[in-house]
A and B are shown apart, each in its own frame.
Chain A
Amino acid sequence: MQSSFAVPRRRVWSSRGIAPRLLVLPAVVGLLAFAIYPFVYLLFLSASKSLLGKTFQEWVGFDNYRNALKDEVFTNALVRSVIFAIPISLIQIVLGLGIALLLYGSIRGGHLIRTLILLPLMTPPIMVATAWRLILNPTGGLLNTVLDGLGLIDKPISILGSSRWAFPAIGLADTWQWTPFVVLLAFAALLTQPEDIREAALVDGATSWTVFWTVTLPLILPGLAAILLIRMIMAFKVFDLVYVMTGGGPGFDTTIGTFEIYRVALQQFNVGYAAAQTILFGLLVGLVTLPFVLIRDWAVKNWS
């Protein structure tokens, strides 16, 4: 990777005039509009008293930030984002790797399984949320019907209306959708390991379990670290599932960072305050993912 950013190897590559620069121009303009401008705009917005329909009413300095940090609904939402993103990405890595290993040794039905396993990944998150809402629905949903049929419950239970279970239920829906992504990538990582080392170890009498821990895992660790990072970043972006499954409730029990910002900006129209929340949320995501970026870099450097 490094080498390809060096100066082109021959003069013909550096004497192509201005054309290469023009080719990158639309992307740079897009970046300005989509990354630089929003960031600068948000900074100004966050220092102002602004409503959705009437922005920049007056400058208030750091008031919005101070209020946000004192606002328990917001700080709790931040905490919830973290306790969603980290465990959910770890669980999905373990599950996804397990399934990839199962598939790795299976000859029959591999293609069918691969096709079927792609479907959750392709499903629009809103439809994922709808499906799980129907499954968990207290009046005649699949879960209640099954539990009732088994005689495990006397009256219908409302998972999504429960303070304790609503949040794990959103995690379940997210795991349903994104574990296949991990399976695909983990499987591709498994394919890069040299098969002969594995087989030699197996022939020498090592158990598959030992071979996994001593041969396979170290080889695919850098890949796994990268997948973990991608999944964690994506888990911080979750919004749709909460929107449809719980609307942030019951109370604020499933209100994560993204949903709280949406609520303040587009339901309460307090965009100045929401801007400050957004900056703080962005900082948090950066801070929380940073150690995992370092872990990935360390894994890539030391294991591959």
Chain B
Amino acid sequence: MNDVRFADAGTVSFDRRGTVAVEKRRRGVVGLVLRRLGLAIVLAFFVLPIVYLVSVSLTPQAEILSGTILPNNLAWHNWPAAYEATTVSLFVRNSAIVAGLSALVTLLIAVPATYSMVRFGVGGRPLYSFILSSYVAPPIVALLPLFYLLRRLHGIDSLWGLALVHAVANVPVAVWLLDSFFRQVPRDIEEAAWVDGAGVVGALVRMVVPLIAPGIVAAGIICLILSYNEFLFAVVLTYRPETQTLPVGISLFQGDRLVNYGQMAAASLTGMAPVYLVALFFQRWLIRGLTHGAVK
């Protein structure tokens, strides 16, 4: 099962020529048109809010209030105005630091742990199940205890404190994603390395990690995005502009600082752009990582 899954997940493809040929004959033109129409509606639904945000970000406030869908006069000034009204660039920087740091720490914890559990059976099934099931609990459960723990460690309202919380919170996800990648590596690889005199860590770092690098990258990117998007911990554990992440910053705009819808849209799009770029760039790996872990 594992092996089949690995092969399949790697080649998730939307080209099913054989299937289509059979179905085309059976259902004819009407079916095809219906199918196209269905896909068009689906696409419209998923793209519409993003397109609308772009449109609003370029619409003068007066035109929005009077109810126009597409702007008559392009209001480019919404963008610089949004950056002047708020500290968006600071939020972007904070988010990048927290997300990058936390993804790195998550991998540093999860890669050796998963390796040890999958290969050496350390902790057995109980430990493995416990790590995964800890993700089932709603994060709000850990919120208050972590708040007090961080305060004692002087990590409250700091970038490293939030990054640490995100890092540990995402370990179960990383373990879940990495698990099946480790299982793909033949045991002979390490055995050969040990014969050559390498230690456990040496064999892991020099032989196993390079082999499953795509899986590690996929897990890292998913953890990066999870941290970047996270809101609950971020809003409670930080309170100065110097430490607040983008989602927190954008959530503040809802109140007083940006009643201007165009600026709100521009600021939101600024926050979305980095994840979209990452998603487009690493699309193949992301899909592989996500489908890999889930369809077990």
* A interface residues, Cβ below 8 angstroms from B: 1, 4-10, 12-13, 16-17, 19-21, 23-24, 26-28, 30-31, 33-35, 37-39, 41-42, 45, 55, 99, 102-107, 109-111, 113-120, 122-128, 130-135, 137, 139-140, 142, 144-146, 148, 176, 179-181, 184-185, 187-189, 191-192, 195, 198-199, 202-203, 207-208, 223, 226-227, 230, 233, 236-237, 239-240, 243-244, 257-258, 261-262, 265-266, 271, 274-275, 278, 281-282, 285, 289
Chain A residue numbers with a CB within 8 Å of B123 are 24, 28
B253 to chain A, nearest CB (A): 8
Asked if B69 contacts A142 (CB within 8 A), the reply is yes
Q: Could you write out 18 A-B pairs with CB less than 8 Å apart?
A: A1-B1, A6-B121, A9-B187, A13-B119, A19-B199, A27-B171, A33-B149, A35-B130, A38-B141, A105-B20, A107-B17, A130-B253, A176-B45, A185-B295, A188-B291, A237-B139, A239-B140, A262-B140
Chief secondary structure at chain B's binding surface: helix
CB distance from B284 to the nearest CB of A (A): 10
A24 near B35 with CB under 8 A, answer no
Task: Name the distance in Å between A78's Cβ and chain B's nearest Cβ.
Answer: 12
Nearest CB on A from B176, distance (A): 10
With A12-B191, A27-B171 given, is the CB distance from A140 to B65 under 8 Å?
yes
CB < 8 Å neighbour of B229 from A109, A125, A137, A195: A125
Q: Which 4 A-B pairs have the closest CB atoms?
A: A110-B14, A27-B113, A38-B145, A188-B291
CA distance A211 to B244 in the complex (A): 53
A223's nearest neighbour on chain B, judged by CB, is B295
Asked, given contacts A12-B191, A142-B69, A176-B45, whether A278 binds B140 with beta carbons under 8 Å apart, the answer is yes
A80 to chain B, nearest CB (A): 14
Contacts of A257 in B (CB 8 A): 138
Against A, the Cβ 8 Å flags (1 = close, 0 = not) of B59-71 are 0000111111100
Chain A interface, DSSP helix/strand/loop, else mixed: helix
Say yes or no: A104-B50 contact (C-beta < 8 A), given A192-B295, A262-B140. no
Asked if B145 and A191 make an inter-chain contact with CB atoms under 8 angstroms apart, the answer reads: no
> Residues of B contacting A28 with CB < 8 Å?
113, 123, 127
Please choose the segment from B77-85, B211-219, B272-280 that sits at the chain A interface, where 4 or more of its residues have CB less than 8 A away.
Answer: B272-280
Per-position contact with A for B164-189: 1 when CB-CB < 8 Å, else 0? 00011101000100000001000100
Contact partner, A124, options B15, B118, B191, B272, Cβ 8 Å: B272
A133–B22 CA distance with the chains assembled, in angstroms: 44
Complex: chain B residue closest to A123, CB-CB? B272
Q: When the two chains form the complex, which single residue of A109, A146, A233 contacts B136, counting CB atoms closer than 8 Å?
A: A233
- Whole-angstrom CA separation of A27 from B169 in the bound complex: 11
Contact between A184 and B290, CB atoms less than 8 A apart: yes
Would you call A188 and B295 a contact (CB within 8 A)?
yes
Which residue of the partner chain, among B9, B18, B27, B117, contacts A208 with CB atoms under 8 Å?
B27
Q: Once the chains are docked, how many angstroms separate the CA of A110 from the CA of B109? A: 37
> How many residues from B make CB contacts under 8 Å with A?
119
Query: Chain B 31-69, CB within 8 Å of chain A: the 1/0 string?
Result: 000010011001101110110110010000001111111
Q: In the assembled complex, which residues on chain A have CB atoms less than 8 Å from the CB atom of B92?
A: none
| Chain B residues with a Cβ under 8 A of chain A | 1-2, 4-5, 8-9, 12-20, 22-23, 26-27, 35, 38-39, 42-43, 45-47, 49-50, 52-53, 56, 63-69, 108-110, 112-113, 115-125, 127-128, 130-131, 134, 136-146, 148-149, 167-169, 171, 175, 183, 187, 191, 194, 199-201, 204, 225, 228-229, 231-232, 235-236, 246-248, 250-251, 253-254, 261, 264-265, 268, 271-272, 275-276, 278-280, 283, 286-287, 290-291, 294-296
**A262–B144 alpha-carbon span in the complex (Å):** 10
Interchain CB contact under 8 A, B112 and A26: yes
On chain B, the residues within 8 Å of A176 by CB distance are: 45-46, 49
